[in-house]
Amino acid sequence: MRERPDFLAHGVLILGVLLFALPVWLVFAGSTQDSDAITRGELSLVPHLSNLSVYARVLTTRTMGTEPVWHMLLISFGMALAVAFGKIVISILSAYAVVFFRFPFRQVAFWLIFVTLMLPVEVRIIPTYAVMADFGLINTFTGLWVPLIASATATLLFRQVFTAIPDELVEAARIDGAGPLRFLWDIVLPVSGANIAALFVILFVLGWNQYLWPLLVATNQGLDTIVIGIVKMIGQETQTDWSAVMATTVLALLPPVLVVVLMQRWFVAGLTEGEK
């Protein structure tokens, strides 16, 4: 007994899809159009596919006084990967210590990390800047990512995952004479693979999308991320090379969107799993 198609559901969902897709399509179409025409108010939804060379132009040359896009993409990639791997590594290590060892002040250490859950970077902008200056980290690539990798949420997640590993596995490993580091490498990391993959997506996107932090600690143009670069471009209201700005926008959106779409399965499961 097959019912007729659910037209209402399809209609609503198509509207939703368009709500997100249309602005991006508009920017793609605009990137292939003439900048002067866009300035005159002639932006349209029809791309001129013969003008795709704008992408080569923005990738390799300085447009509107910013670094070439390849350079800004490189900084963004470096920052996103460093934030993701950095957070994952130090959170795995600290969660492992808290779950698989007994030592004095174990609970204190855990709570010290846990409390920072309440302090997003936005609320401690000014004093953190002062600390960064003391360390000489202003305008360095290290300054872009190191201060961001402390993570209470990732530590909590891994603690939860590690706690679920059965005692029998640990006993078996000990009988086999495996030390704690060997157990971490051979057993704990492989069984946490799905969680690590999910967290990687979330953290890569988080790192890629940083705006306030790089704005604050890296005023040197050589360290501009792609997001910083675009906002600088649109900030200049006169003489805007619109097609270059739009091509840059498309290039800035692609990497994080690809990561989310390609790793969707792990990402969605990992995101909502912590919720049970």
Partner 1 sequence: MDRRTVFNGRLLPVMLLLPQLLLTFFFFYWPAGEAVWSSLITQDAFGQGWVFVGVDNFVDLFTDPLYLDSIVRTVLFCVAVSVLSMGIALGLAVFADRSISGRGVYRTLLIWPYAIAPAMSAVLFLFVLNPRVGLLGRWLNHHGVAWDYTLNGAQAMLMVVSASAWKQVSYNFIFFLAGLQSIPRAVTEAARMDGAKGWHRFLTITFPLLAPTTFFLVVVNVVYAAFDTFGAIYALTQGGPGKDTETLVIKVFRDGVINQDIGSSSAQSVVLMAGVIAITAVQFRFMGRRTVS
User: In the window 44-73, what residues touch partner 1 (CB under 8 A)?
Assistant: 44-45
Between 49 and 167, name the residue whose CB sits nearer to partner 1: 167
* Contacts with partner 1, 74-103, as mask; x by CB under 8 A: ----------------xx-xx-xxxxxxxx
Could you tell me which of 205, 207, 223 has the C-alpha nearest to residue 215?
Answer: 223
What's the rounded Cα separation, in Å, for the pair 191 and 206?
Answer: 24
Q: Which stretch binds partner 1 (CB under 8 A): 47-55, 63-71, 149-157, 186-194?
A: 149-157
Contact pick of 16, 65, 136, 222 for partner 1 (by CB under 8 A) = 16
Instruction: Name the 3-class secondary structure at 2.
Output: coil
- Residue 43 as a binder of partner 1 (CB under 8 A): the answer is yes
| 215 burial level (CB within 10 Å; 0-12, 13-18, 19+) | middle
Helix axis angle for 69-100 and 242-262, nearest 10°, is 30
User: Which of 204, 197, 201, 196 lies closest to 80, judged by CA?
Assistant: 204
Q: Is 219 left (phi over 0), alpha (psi -120 to 50) or beta?
A: alpha
Point out which span in 49-57, 64-72, 154-162, 185-193 binds partner 1 (CB under 8 A).
154-162
Number of residues assigned to the chain:
276
Nearer to partner 1, 59 or 170 (CB): 170
Evaluate whether 137 touches 95 at the Cβ level (below 8 Å).
no
Contact segment (CB under 8 A) with partner 1 among 49-57, 60-68, 157-165, 186-194 equals 157-165
209-228 mask for partner 1 (x: CB under 8 A)?
Answer: xxxx--xx----------x-
Residue that has been written with the tokens 């990639």 in this structure: 77
Q: Is residue 257 within the footprint of partner 1 (CB under 8 A)?
A: yes
Structure tokens at 62: 């300085």
Among 41, 190, 238, 239, binds partner 1 (CB under 8 A): 41
By C-alpha distance, which of 129, 121, 148 is closest to 207? 148
- Interacting residue with partner 1 among 38, 82, 88, 188 (CB under 8 A): 38
Pick the piece of the chain touching partner 1 (CB under 8 A) from 56-64, 66-74, 152-160, 185-193: 152-160
CB of 117 to partner 1, least distance (A): 7
